[in-house]
Amino acid sequence: MDAGSGSAAPSQAVPSCCRLTLADALRAGEPPADLFARLAVRHWPHEPDAIDAIRAKADAAVARAAANAVTPIVWSDARYPAALAAIVDPPPVLWTRGDPAAWDGTLVAIVGSRAASAYARSVATTLAADLAGRGIAVVSGLARGVDSAAHRGALDADGVTIAVLGSGLDVVYPPEHAPLATDIARRGVVVSELVPGTPPLPEFFPRRNRIISGLSRAVVVIEAGEKSGSLITARCALEQGRDVLAVPGNVLSGRNRGAHALLKDGAKVVESADDILEELGVGVAGSGCRVAGSMGSAGSAGSRDPILDCLVPGEPSDLDEIAERSGLLPSRLLPRLMELELAGAIARVGGGRFVRVDRPC
């Protein structure tokens, strides 16, 4: 276990009220272990026992993770997903099973009703398969209904998919999806911010949803009712500056009120994967050239692109540095960086940093 993962469990164990402060400190470059020590002194100044207890729990969690083939990836790890690092409250640690390279490409979330109709499941499977066939990884929540249909669609198309859990990775919920989680870990990654052993309590799922959207460039909602958790994911996506799209459906069943409400609020209508690709600005002509659409625009922007001008060729910069230089909020900046990356104008390097790529036009 390396130094980074060794500091994972303590930073996970701090009270949730500290999360924003914690994210800011991590973003500012403070090593997680130092940060934990500082927070511990502030929150439990006269309770060395409490600090020791947290450290013991953390060590137990790390040991349990190791025993269960779960790998923690901390904020400062180069493998930590850059898109998630850009949200206001990124998890300090991601507990993972599978290959974290799964989130290196373009990611699209597909979420929706647990009590999904056959129609919704069919749409989820079809969209996921079509996205996967074009090299886009599908993010979802491993839930019954739309989520699992989306994961299966991507897997059946030999694509990559990412499941974000609302429990520890060794406590798969719903239990009957354990084989699906195993399949996902073989071909993508299963991930949670919750330490191994954490049960799937209802309060974990709304916060889990911010990770689904935070990993993704866009969130597609299928068959969400009026109070669907998918609407939380959609709201998170909007707050994070990601695209929100929705699949229309029957207006008489009441099953689509949430999805239609999103459409009324300006979410893009999705009938097919092409609609999603169009919204992302990536090519829709064929699977051979994923970036045909954006390539042209980025190419024509050339060195006049204000974000490119903030990057020194060969010198990696992190999101905050680029944000400071460009004057753009990280949440607004990230979609542009992703476009530039897809266009080959910049490349992602370790620690969620970006480097400008100069090449002949």
Examine residue 110 and tell whether it contacts a copy of itself (CB under 8 A).
Answer: no
- Nearer CB in complex with a copy of itself: 192/256: 256
- Nearer CB in complex with a copy of itself: 255/356: 255
Examine residue 256 and tell whether it contacts a copy of itself (CB under 8 A).
Answer: yes
Helix (H, G, I), strand (E, B), or coil: what is residue 342?
Answer: helix
CA distance 156 to 115: 22
Tokens 């994961």 identify what position?
Answer: 151
Are 323 and 306 in contact by the 8 Å Cβ rule? The answer is no
Q: Which of 260, 336, 353, 356 binds a copy of itself (CB under 8 A)?
A: 260
Examine residue 156 and tell whether it contacts a copy of itself (CB under 8 A).
Answer: no
Examine residue 264 and tell whether it contacts a copy of itself (CB under 8 A).
Answer: yes
Residues 311-330 as b/e (b if ≥16 CB within 10 A, e otherwise) read: beeeebbbbbebbeebebeb
- Nearer CB in complex with a copy of itself: 22/124: 124
By CB atoms closer than 10 A (0-12, 13-18, 19+), residue 209 is buried
Q: Which stretch binds a copy of itself (CB under 8 A): 16-24, 241-249, 280-288, 334-342?
A: 241-249
- Nearer CB in complex with a copy of itself: 209/230: 230
Facing residues of 245 across strands?
220, 268
Q: Which of 17, 28, 252, 361 binds a copy of itself (CB under 8 A)?
A: 252
Q: How far is the CB of 315 from a copy of itself (least distance, A)?
A: 42
Examine residue 284 and tell whether it contacts a copy of itself (CB under 8 A).
Answer: no
- Which residues in 59-116 belong to E strands, given as ranges? 71-74, 93-98, 107-112
CA distance 29 to 39: 15
Q: How far is the CB of 259 from a copy of itself (least distance, A)?
A: 9
Of the candidates 174, 166, 171, the residue with the CA atom closest to the CA atom of residue 194: 166
Examine residue 126 and tell whether it contacts a copy of itself (CB under 8 A).
Answer: yes
- Interacting residues with a copy of itself (CB under 8 A): 119, 122-123, 126, 247-252, 256-257, 260, 263-264, 268-272, 275
